[in-house]
Amino acid sequence: MTMTRLAFAALAALALASAAAADPAPIPVTLKNHQFTPNLIKVPANEPVVLNVTNADSLAEEFDSTPLKVEKVIAGGQSGLVRIHPLRPGRYAFTGEYHSATAQGVVVAQ
């Protein structure tokens, strides 16, 4: 009986560790007409974040942010996941590098 309880405890601990290591639910972001929607993304501070960026334009775009330490090219008509490390509270700008005059946004960690 002791081995059964020990095995159960080990499996429960493994399940909790796996759940903690899983990606958070992706936040949907759309790029259309070279503009991000939403262009203001509020996220919890000190937690990892995943953006699911859908490029509804026909041309490729690069989601780019030096403050977020992220660069990801997303082909036209495709989606891509952008993983962001835990952020301190603050504002973090991002752009679509190929159309930076219009494709702009900010992540706000709070």
pLDDT, one tens digit per residue, over 2-49 is 555 555 555 555 555 544 457 899 999 999 999 999 999 999 999 999
pLDDT, one tens digit per residue, over 93-107 is 999 999 999 999 999
Residue 75 φ then ψ, to 5°: -65, 155
- CA distances (Å), origin 38, targets 2, 16, 60: 54, 33, 19
pLDDT, one tens digit per residue, over 51-81 is 999 999 999 999 999 999 999 999 999 999 9
Domains and CATH numbers, the chain: 24-109 (2.60.40.420)
- CA distances (Å), origin 44, targets 7, 27, 72: 35, 12, 22
Euclidean distance between CA atoms 31 and 40, whole angstroms:
13
Higher pLDDT, 82 or 6: 82
